[in-house]
Structures are given as structure tokens and as C-alpha cells.
Amino acid sequence: MDYKPKILVIGSANMDMVIQSDHFPSPGETIIGGKFSLIPGGKGANQAVAAARVGGEVSFISKLGKDLFGETNLENFKNEGIDTSLIKQIPDQPSGVALITVDSSGENTIIVAPGANSHISTVDIQAADSHFEHAAIILTQLEIPLPTVLSCIEKAKKKGKPLILNPAPATDLSEAFFEGLFMITPNETEAELLTGIQIRDDDSAESAAKALFGKGVQNVIITLGAGGAFVYTEGFKGRIPTKKVQAVDSTAAGDTFNGALAVALAKGESIEKAVQFALKAATLSVQRMGAQSSIPTLEELSLKN
């Protein structure tokens, strides 16, 4: 019951600075906005926090600046029980930040300054040999340099460890990323960018998943927002629906899905069961505001049906 599988997450950590406003400023204009919030974010960090909250023993490889946001993020990871021994604070770069404005209709504009995240390098991956060896599952995304992501994939293959690639944000990838990859988890937009197939229904989701499977990925899972997820593996092909809910904020829904999926798979669940668990976690997260603030704990998930 209490077994905590080891999950290794490699990725970005940001500080999200969010201002709510009636409208967006035009170029050259200064406006007085509303509420300001400072929220830890970044896809890597969100997925590490999600995996830790739903029962993983998480190690996180990332980089932060030696600044206030770096300290705050580090403290946050420690509070979540995440192993921070592989997180480096570098002196010559600021921590990653995202400047976000949200207008009264819920529309947003986001500009990210990756800062220290751009310096997570293949050297950092080479130095993490024992963490790769001890991990039950490895999880990474595309908010860090692509050669670093590729070196994670290659190292995981060499060590015989399953790696989940969440190909977000949407970026074109060379064939080297796919061949022999254990699992890929694009959303609809990312799946379309990677395959050229627009996802409109179950048939087109299956075609896109099949195309990724054809590139050499062993297990393809396309998340479909309120539609759940389409799974394409050797043994199971089909859409797994999720509960109908009143969504208030989908920020970090994909990150929650990936963190929960990694933990369930690492605990030995079948892919179908693991996807059901990840859907439950992600669908709960969209009913709450914010990124990390919306990610549920294992306790909350076992209480909900």
C-alpha cells in the first residue's frame, strides 16, 4: 500500500507571475491590472510535484538561478518531499519565469524567459547515472534543450528503463526521438504537429496514434481534454473516456496526467488502469484553479470515484 516507486523527472522549473486584468495592454500602453499571484510552475516542476503528490518517490533534475525565485522553488520542492540533490542553482542565469496576463474572459498571454532551464545539459544527464539506474520510470518534456531530451531517451534505452516523453510544448522532433521510445503522451495539438493528422474524432486520433507507433514508439497515449485519452499499444487500442465535470482551469492538467501516469505504471499497473488513474487525477485538477495548486494528492483520489 505504502510502496513508493522511484520516479526520475527531468525538466523545467519556472516561477509564474500572473496578473488578472479586464483587458490586455496594447503595445506601448500601461494599464492598472487586478490581482497578482506568484505561482511555482514549469512543466518539469509540475510533473515532479504531481508524481510526488500521488505517491511517487521523486528525484528531479533541473536548474534554477541563485535568486529569490530559485530559493522559493527549491523550498517548494523540498516541502513536496522531492529529492533536490540533482537541482543546481547556477550563478550567472536567472531562474525561469513566465509572465502571464489573464483577462476577464479567461484568455491569457504568456511570455516565458527560460533562464537557467536553457542550461540543463547533456552533462547533467551524464552525471545522473545512478538515478537512471534506480528509477522505475523516467519522465521528461520539451521545455529544456532538445539535445538534453534526446540524451535522456538514449540513456534510458541503454539502461533498459522505460521513459515517458510528454512532447510539450508542441515542437517538431527528428526521427531519433521516436525509435524504441517506451511511451509518448502528446495532447491533440502536439499529436497533430508530430504527425500532420488533425484530431477531430476517435478515427483521426487512432490514425495519429498509429503514425507515432509506426515511428517506433511502443506505447502512444494522446490526451483529448474532456474526451479523455486515446491509447494505442500492442495490446490495447481505443479511447478511454473521463468523467464529465465543470472545468474551471485546465492549467497543468496535462502535467497532472503525466505525473500520475508515471506513478501508476511504476507501481506495475496495466496501461489501461494507469491511464484511468491519470485521467482521474487530471480531471480532478481541472476543477480547481492554478497549476500546482490544482494537483491532487493520492488521498484525495482514493476518496473520489
State the nearest-atom distance from the C-beta of 221 to ligand ATP, in Å.
Answer: 9
Is 203 annotated in the active site? Answer: no
Q: Which of 250, 273, 288, 301 binds ligand ATP (CB under 6 A)?
A: 250
Nearest to 182 by CA among 207, 165, 158, 206: 165
What count of other Cβ atoms lies within 10 Å of the Cβ of residue 15?
26
151 vs 187, beta carbon nearer ligand ATP: 187
33 vs 169, beta carbon nearer ligand ATP: 169
How deeply is 24 buried, as exposed, middle or buried, from its count of CB atoms within 10 A (0-12, 13-18, 19+)?
Answer: middle
Residue type, 226: A
Round to whole Å and give the CA distance between 35 and 155: 44
Q: Which of 253, 263, 271, 295 binds ligand ATP (CB under 6 A)?
A: 253
Q: What is the dihedral of CA 295, 164, 69, 291, to 10 degrees?
A: -20
The CA R_g of the chain, rounded to the nearest whole Å, is 19
193 binds ligand ATP (CB under 6 A): no
Contact in structure between 274 and 262 (CB atoms under 8 Å): no
- Annotated binding-site residue? 196: no
Q: Residue 290 region, left (φ>0) first, then alpha (ψ -120 to 50), else beta?
A: left
- Annotated binding-site residue? 55: no
Residue 251 is classified by DSSP as T
57 vs 255, beta carbon nearer ligand ATP: 255
- Annotated binding-site residue? 16: yes
Q: Which of 245, 270, 299, 304 binds ligand ATP (CB under 6 A)?
A: 245
Site string for ligand ATP, 129-168 (x = CB under 6 A): ---------------------------------------x
State the nearest-atom distance from the C-beta of 242 to ligand ATP, in Å.
Answer: 4
Length of the chain, in residues: 305
184 contact partners, CB below 8 Å, separation of at least 6: 164, 165, 166, 167, 178, 212, 217, 219, 220, 221
- Annotated binding-site residue? 53: no
9 vs 86, beta carbon nearer ligand ATP: 9
Cite the active site residues: 255
For the annotated binding site for K(+), the residues are 249, 251, 285, 288, 290, 294
Residues in contact with ligand ATP by CB under 6 A are 168, 187, 223-226, 228-229, 242, 245, 247, 250-255, 257, 279, 282-283, 286
